[in-house]
Amino acid sequence: MYLAWLVFVILLPDWSAGAEPKIVYKATNIECIGNPKRAVNLSCIIKAINWNKAVAQMDCDLVVPLRNFSIQLEVFKKGYSNQYHPFLVNVTFNACDILAKRSFLPYGTIMWRTVKEFSNVNHPCPIENHLYARNLSIDENMLPVLPLGIYMFSLRITDVSPKGLSEYVGVIKFYFQAMEMIRIKKNIN
């Protein structure tokens, strides 16, 4: 009996590790819509890497520099009616404060870590000229575990002029799927 318990205790970590599959966030689509007075030459595409990962490539040229811009982050989840419904997050933050490290809102710092790693926005405001992001993907360790499903991050960017007027710059809609990691069985002959 002692031997049976010993085998059970030794094998328990292997069983529990196999019981919880890893969740990955795979990009499925991206839309970039811009104000032609503020941003031109918009290009947003998704490139599939493998079954579990796809990356985004984004480019745009700013006509007017972003001096004091805010981002409204909304998260939507696709429901059974095949429509996107608001899901937990609808927050607006001043991106210049995040870039200058004057504000430490959780959603802003998550975005800053992502932007810093994948784009040429690596300095405080003003942001000007050509902006790009290469090989942008969602790191599973950066976000809390989301339920399986299809989601959309909507990033609405506005800039506040020195006169205090808020001007629409653009929207980035990033679609992704929270799914179990697909494991490919390799045949060794």
Asked whether residue 85 carries a pLDDT value surpassing 90, the answer given is yes
Q: How far is CA 174 from CA 19, 29, 155, 186, in A?
A: 30, 6, 8, 32
**Phi, psi for 8 (deg, rounded to 5):** -60, -45
> What's residue 1's pLDDT?
46
Of 77, 87, 52, 98, nearest in space to 148 by CA: 77
Any idea which of 37-51, 65-79, 102-116, 151-165 has the lowest mean pLDDT? 102-116
Contact 115, 174 (CB under 8 A): no
Contact 102, 68 (CB under 8 A): no
What would the pLDDT profile of 141-174 be if each residue is shown by its tens digit?
888 888 999 999 999 999 988 788 899 999 999 9
Residue 3 banded pLDDT, cuts 50, 70, 90: very low
pTM of the predicted model over 0.85? no
What would the pLDDT profile of 71-81 be if each residue is shown by its tens digit?
999 999 999 99
**Domains of the chain, each with CATH number or no CATH:** 25-179 (2.70.220.10)
